[in-house]
């Protein structure tokens, strides 16, 4: 694996594959800000094999595996030839509509990957705005002193393979950009909401309430503040586990609807 040193390097390699076949397949979607963060962390690596570029991203104790390939047949051939370091786990997110992802999932399964989880995407178009007077003073922006406690809070409650727990640096970046909301009780995190804004799209990444404070309506206070901060957005998206009926019903209560897009998470344990 070779370390990726610049965003230009990776974008040029992707363009090279695209030119070979305009109907290329990939699970790696460019976000310059995030990619530059990963490069700065020295966590992004690449392996080029034939007409396929594999990208590895180190995250805590495992790697995410991304691919850019001219077509599926080339992907499966080179995936079979790819050498995976021992004693490490690898996670591949296969994103698309059901008929598109099933074939890719089967190809990964033949190479030792197993199905771990399936996420579904939900969306909402903006219908109304939230007024400042409806906000709760309990909700505030996280500070840099909260970065490690937030990381620990998320790590203790989320599945590391399917829910893409942000690194400490990603949390610090969110804090700097005021996209991490928090509620505290006696210095204990009672709840948090982590989001990203890309243009006029608001992506709700995490929305969690401490089990000890479930009856305090912290969740509704957090999401109201989120909607207020995103009053200028016209599209809202999120990913949810397909079998998490409780979470889905809560999102539907706030106006989110299910899309046909899904993310099949495959894991290879070495």
Region at 5 (left for phi over 0; alpha for psi -120 to 50; beta for the rest): alpha
Give per-10-residue mean pLDDT for the chain (270 aa).
Answer: 91 90 87 89 92 93 95 93 90 89 92 96 90 92 97 96 92 97 94 95 96 90 96 95 95 95 94
Measured in whole angstroms, the distance separating CA 235 from the mean position of its chain's CA atoms is 17
Here the tokens at position 251 are: 């999102």
Residue 29 is predicted with a pLDDT of 85
User: Do the beta carbons of residue 101 and residue 95 sit within 8 Å?
Assistant: yes
User: Do the beta carbons of residue 62 and residue 72 sit within 8 Å?
Assistant: no
Assign domain 2-120 one CATH number from 3.40.630, 1.10.3470, 2.20.25, 2.40.30.
3.40.630
Rounded to whole angstroms, the Cα distance separating 192 from 187 reads 13
Question: Where does CATH 3.40.630.30 sit in the chain?
Answer: 127-233
Residue 173 is predicted with a pLDDT of 94
pTM of the predicted structure, to 2 decimals: 0.90
Instruction: Let me know how long the chain is.
Output: 270
Assign domain 127-233 one CATH number from 3.10.450.50, 3.40.630.30, 1.10.8.190, 3.40.50.300.
3.40.630.30
First vs last Cα of the chain: how many Å apart? 17
């Amino acid at each position: 694996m070779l370390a990726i040193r610049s965003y230009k390097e990776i974008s040029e390699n992707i363009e090279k594959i695209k030119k070979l076949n305009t109907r290329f397949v990939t699970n790696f979607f460019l976000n310059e800000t995030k990619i530059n963060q990963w490069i700065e962390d020295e966590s992004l690596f690449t392996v080029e094999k034939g007409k396929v570029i594999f990208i590895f991203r180190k995250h805590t104790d495992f790697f995410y595996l991304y691919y850019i390939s001219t077509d599926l047949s080339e992907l499966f051939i080179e995936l079979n030839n790819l050498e995976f370091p021992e004693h490490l786990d690898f996670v591949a997110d296969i994103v698309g509509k059901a008929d598109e992802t099933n074939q890719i999932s089967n190809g990964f399964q033949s190479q030792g990957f197993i199905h771990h989880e399936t996420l579904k995407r939900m969306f909402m178009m903006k219908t109304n705005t939230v007024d400042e007077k409806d906000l709760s003073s309990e909700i505030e922006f996280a500070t840099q002193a909260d970065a490690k406690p937030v990381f620990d809070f998320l790590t203790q409650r989320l599945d590391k393979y399917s829910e893409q727990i942000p690194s400490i640096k990603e949390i610090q970046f969110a804090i700097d950009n005021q996209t991490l909301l928090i509620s505290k009780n006696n210095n204990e995190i009672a709840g948090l909401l982590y989001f990203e804004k890309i243009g006029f799209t608001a992506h709700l990444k995490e929305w969690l309430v401490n089990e000890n404070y479930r009856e305090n309506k912290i969740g509704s206070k957090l999401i109201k503040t989120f909607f207020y901060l995103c009053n200028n957005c016209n599209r809202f998206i999120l990913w949810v586990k397909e079998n998490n009926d409780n979470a889905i019903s809560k999102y539907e209560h706030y106006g989110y609807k299910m899309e046909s897009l899904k993310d099949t998470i495959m894991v290879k344990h070495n």
